[in-house]
A and B are shown apart, each in its own frame.
Chain A
Amino acid sequence: MSQPERNWVEKLSGAKPTTLYMLLIVVSAIFLFIKYQIPVKPDPESVDLYARLATLPKDRPVLVQSDWTNSSRGESAGQFEALMRILMDNEIKFVIYSAADPQAPQVARNVIRFINEERKAEGKAPYKVWENYLDCGYFPNAEGMGQAMKANLRNAFSNKKNRKPDGTDADIWESPVLAGVKSIKDIPLLVNVTASATIDVLIERLGGQVNLGLMCTGVMSPQMVPYYASGQLKGLSGGLKGVYDLEWMMNYGIRGDQVPNDPSLPNRAVCKSNSTIDVKPLQGTTFSRGASYYLSLHAALTLMILAVVAGNLSLISARIKARKG
């Protein structure tokens, strides 16, 4: 028995999954090869995070809890690279550790090495362990670690050693990075780069003790907005849009809404939470992974919108037919 011939609406609504998958691969891949700076208006939460990072004091280190691995590198790697570039270009010291995945410290080390190679190529001094940053490795229990950091930061990071420039290992508390730090309250900002719920633990254990910033995946981002709205997070970079927002601000700078617009810097993002902030563009690499992927994100989202429309066409067509009788 012959099948009744399908019209174009039915064909469009009944496409095979493999056709969709092929379309997604082709559309996403093609745009990876096209470099284009898409104009963007950074989200307020990204602007607040960048404002915090750009105004950090140089004499106190930032804590970076790096809990991502390459499973979410499309977003997390871009966020981590942007964070490293911002901290290094502003000469901010940092202490890095992980509490979610044993692979996370090595992934972070690889990115730091890559950024250091980039800095060398740009004629800048590379960031050195012990002098500029400390690598505290992996802590298997995020809850216990958070509680210990709140009670006594020195004890929480006790017995951790890093290599000095002379090749000997020494306690991290002897390092110039932690000079002047006695408790968690001496830390101006703790940034969590994560693809899991580790930020929940930090908010529960360290909320109110230290300013928290978050770089998370696009899937997590909507769940984190309430923490930003309540002030428990001082800033938030969510997903690929968050990465591109950061790169945009690194490239063009930000200004407070009370600061007059500088015609020579027309694309600066406007910060409403800090009315007097005036941050100039960073020197060196700014647009990187976020800019490379953002056009692909546009293509993938457009494809998804079209797929939803196509999927609904037969339903709409059937309703119209039913109405006509």
Chain B
Amino acid sequence: MNLLALQWSFRPEDSTKWTYLIVAAIIGFAFMFALSRVPTRMRRVVVGTFTFLSGLFYVLLYIWPQPIDKKPLDIPQGPVESVGFLLQDMVPVVKDFTSILTAFLLGLGVYSLLRVHIGRVARRQRDWQYSGLLLLCMATMLTIGYWDFFMQSANKAVDYSDRANWTTAQYGFDLLFDGMLQQMDAAMFSIIAFFILSAAYRAFRIRSIEATIMLGTALILMLSLMGIASYFTDWLFVQKLAGGNANAFVGNFTLAEISNWIKNNFQVPSLRAMEFGIGIGALAMGLRIWLSLERGGVSA
């Protein structure tokens, strides 16, 4: 049976989807149950085989000759083209699989969160009130979010992008999402500024030549982010000293030119060197995981 010939997507109104969903769920649970019952050694073989096959798809996709500008009715000529066509046709299917798998991680996160915090509340563990608050907030967000979603789905003719058409559900969702969650998110992130300032004050010491060079470079780059400082050096070197001639030699000493010179001649090569190192490391690690040589990757 050609797996690619299966129907992978359905319109929302198509009732066949429920049959497929139920069958897929039963097969999935049966497979997971069977997997949980096999001995650990055998489990490693199963995980290793799946890892290898998944990796093999992307390796083949990368090295196998691919059809260029393939049309839906094109017919492959010979085995090389056939594999190329098959690989390209499989890409969206594999994308859907990986998207579903990644989406499961969200579900896993929710499950894990509920398991941990319901347990804490039930056992009245230390600071259980925070767990209770977390569960309450989660339930409120879910309720209001779905209320808004179902309302928008039921009233398709209403333009909810216009605030004039909003009801309690939309205002409630906006208050919780934009008014609270996102503001707290921003507040958390802004705390970094305090740590950066404190670290710069306490740790940035000119104890050696190297540290002095680093401090000087950092100072130039920080100043280059300040438009007023760049504007001043531009005025000094180009307007005053060079009489407005931007191509004059002294024009090379503006803050913008010096910072660009540092970026292009020191920063870019250094980062490229690091990226090469990281890339080789990632390749080696990828190979180890793909070939199940990395025990941590396949232990179950």
Contacts and interface: CB of A to CB of B under 8 A. Distances in A.
Interface stretch (B42-50, B181-189, B291-299): B181-189
Given A40-B231, A229-B268, A144 B106 contact: no
B197 A41 contact: no
A39 B96 CA distance: 49
A28 B188 CA distance: 17
Interface string B153-180: 0001110010100000000001001100
Contact of A229 (B158, B190, B264): B264
B197 A311 contact: no
A142 to B, nearest CB: 9
A23 to B, nearest CB: 8
Nearest to A169: B156
Contacts of A54: none
Nearest to B173: A106
Contacts of A307: 197, 200-201
Interface stretch (B20-28, B114-122, B124-132, B218-226): B218-226
A140 B106 contact: yes
Contacts of B156: 163, 167-169
A294 interface: yes
Q: Is the interface of B mostly helix, strand, loop or mixed?
A: helix
Contact of A145 (B99, B101, B177, B182): B99
A238 B112 CA distance: 37
A9 interface: no
B232 to A, nearest CB: 9
Interface residues of B, number: 64
Interface string A280-309: 000000000000001001101111110110
Interface in A108-124: 109-110, 112-113, 116-117
A307 to B, nearest CB: 4
A55 interface: no
A24 B186 contact: no
A106 B194 CA distance: 29
A303 B206 CA distance: 18
A147 B95 contact: yes
Interface in A18-34: 20-21, 24, 28
A105 B227 CA distance: 33
Contact of B99 (A71, A109, A140): A140
A152 B91 contact: yes
B69 interface: yes
A180 interface: no
A159 interface: yes
B230 A71 contact: no
Given A151-B91, A303-B197, A315-B207, A39 B271 contact: no
Contacts of B59: none
A312 interface: yes
Contact of B92 (A110, A152, A229): A152
B200 A308 contact: yes
A300 to B, nearest CB: 7
B201 A71 contact: no
B92 A151 contact: yes
Contacts of A140: 99, 102-103, 105-106
B239 interface: no
Interface of B: 9, 58, 61, 69, 88, 91-92, 94-95, 98-99, 101-103, 105-106, 156-158, 161, 163, 174, 177-178, 181-183, 185-186, 188-190, 193-194, 196-198, 200-202, 204-207, 215, 219, 222-223, 225-228, 230-231, 234, 256, 260, 263-264, 267-268, 271-272, 275
27 contacts: A28-B193, A41-B231, A70-B182, A106-B177, A109-B161, A110-B174, A140-B106, A141-B99, A141-B102, A144-B99, A145-B99, A151-B91, A225-B268, A225-B271, A226-B268, A297-B225, A301-B225, A301-B226, A305-B219, A308-B201, A308-B204, A308-B215, A308-B219, A311-B204, A312-B206, A315-B205, A315-B206
Q: Which 7 A-B pairs have the closest CB atoms?
A: A40-B227, A167-B157, A70-B182, A155-B92, A140-B102, A148-B95, A151-B91
